[in-house]
Amino acid sequence: MNIFERIEKIDRRIIFLLVAIAVLLPLIFKVRMEIPISEPVKKAFVSVDTLSSGTYILISVDYDPASMPELQPMYKTLLMQCFEKGLKPVMIVQWPLGLPLSIKAMSEMAVEYNRMARAEGKDTVVYGVDYCNIGYRPGGVAQIVGIGKEIRDYFESDYKGTPLDSLPMMNNIHNYDNFALLFALEAGSMGDFYVQYANARFGIKIIFGMTAVSAPDAYPYLQSGQIIGLLGGLQGAAEYETLMKKPGFATMGMTAQSWVHVLIVLFILLGNIGYFINRKKRRS
Amino acid sequence: MHNFWTIFGVWMAAFLTLAIFSFLYKDNPFYKLAEHLYVGTSAGYMLIYTYFLTIKPMLIDPITKQQQFFLFIPAFFGIIMLTRWFPKIAWLSRWSIAFTIGIGTGLAITGSIQGILIPQIKGTLIALHGWNWTTLNNLLIIIGVISTLTYFYFSKAHKGVIGKTAKIGIIYIMIAFGASFGYTVMGRISLLIGRMYFLFHDWIPLIR
Residue range A207-252, pLDDT digits in tens = 999 999 999 999 999 999 999 999 999 999 999 999 999 999 999 9
Provide the domain limits for residue B149: 130-208
Contact call for A199 and B115, based on CB within 8 A: yes
Domain positions in chain A are: 1-32+255-284, 35-246
A13 touches chain B (CB under 8 A): yes
What's the rounded Cα separation, in Å, for the pair A78 and A71? 11
CB contact under 8 A, B115 and A200: yes
Which residue in chain A has the smallest CA separation from B176?
A216
Q: Which one of 3.30.70, 2.60.40, 3.40.50, 3.40.1000 gives the CATH number of domain A35-246?
A: 3.40.50
- B161 pLDDT above the threshold of 70: yes
Nearest to B120 among A211, A224, A264 (CB): A224
Pairing state between β A88-93 and A205-210 = unpaired
Sign of the C-alpha dihedral computed for residues B87, B92, B97 and B102 taken in this order:
positive
- Residue-wise pLDDT tens digits, B32-90: 999 999 999 999 998 998 898 889 988 999 999 999 999 999 999 999 999 999 999 99
What percentage of chain A carries pLDDT values higher than 90?
A: 84
pTM recorded for the entire structure: 0.91
Tens of pLDDT, residue by residue over A139-149, are 889 899 999 99
Contact A216 B180 (CB under 8 A): yes
- Alpha-carbon distance of A257 to A73, in angstroms, equals 15
Question: pLDDT-based confidence at A157, cuts 50/70/90?
Answer: very high
Residue B174, domain member (yes or no): yes
Residue B91 falls inside a structural domain: no
Whether B193 and A23 lie within 8 Å, measured CB to CB: yes
For every residue of A253-267, DSSP letters joined together read: HHHHHHHHHHHHHHH
Residue type, A114: N
> Is A200's Cβ below 8 Å from some Cβ in B?
yes
User: What's the number of domains chain B is made of?
Assistant: 1
Q: In this structure, which amino acid lies at residue B151?
A: Y
A240 residue type, one letter? Y
Q: How many CB atoms lie within 10 A of CB B84?
A: 15
ipTM of this predicted structure = 0.89
